[in-house]
Amino acid sequence: MTKPGTSRSKKETWWWPNEVEAASKSKKEAFKQWRQTRAQQDKDGYNLRKKEAKIQVAKAKQAHFEALYRRLETREGENEIYRIAKARHAKTRDIGNVRIGKAADGRVLFLEEHLTSDLAVERQTPSSH
């Protein structure tokens, strides 16, 4: 459940085969049709297409991960495990810890030591108020 005013994250669909994309588009069109008419037969058609799309996604996902696991079991795949782990770790980093500020001359400061040293200098100089 998301909070009001926030959007859900987009699902990655780059690995979907054409059949899955076609099933997804068909489901979306059926949903739009049902929303316009509110007819029971359109709702039934939408539910049927939704079920078919779910099955297509599950099959594609299974095939994708089976191929990935086969690739990881090879000698060359051993290094890929570390690349995947590194990418997953990078995705979990908290972006809120990035410290950004501006120096007195308008330069943007990113590193914490630059921020603290420049802010300390600004505090020591008398203000011109």
User: pLDDT (tens digit, 9 = 90+) per residue, 49-66?
Assistant: 999 999 999 999 999 999
pLDDT at 110: 66
Q: What is the pLDDT of residue 54?
A: 96
- What DSSP character marks residue 4? T
In the chain, what is the straight-line distance between the N-terminal and C-terminal CA atoms, in Å? Answer: 50
Q: What is the pLDDT of residue 43?
A: 97
**With contact defined as beta carbons under 8 Å apart, do 46 and 31 qualify?**
yes
- 3-state class (DSSP) for residue 109: strand
Contacts of 100 (CB under 8 A, 6+ apart): 108, 109, 110
Phi/psi zone of residue 112: left (φ > 0), alpha (ψ -120 to 50 degrees), beta?
Answer: alpha
Task: Give the per-residue pLDDT at 56.
Answer: 95
Residue 115: the pLDDT is 47
* pLDDT score for 17: 87
Distances (CA, A) of 85 to 36, 44, 91: 46, 43, 10
Dihedral sign of CA atoms 51, 53, 59, 65 in order = negative
Instruction: Please report the pLDDT score of residue 88 as a whole number.
Output: 87
Cα–Cα distance measured from residue 77 to residue 71, given in angstroms and rounded to the nearest whole number: 6
Within the chain, which residues score under 50 in pLDDT?
Answer: 115, 129
Q: Against a cut of 0.85, is the pTM above it? A: no
DSSP code for 95: G
DSSP, res 16: -
Which residues lie closer than 8 Å to 119 by C-beta, 6 or more apart?
101
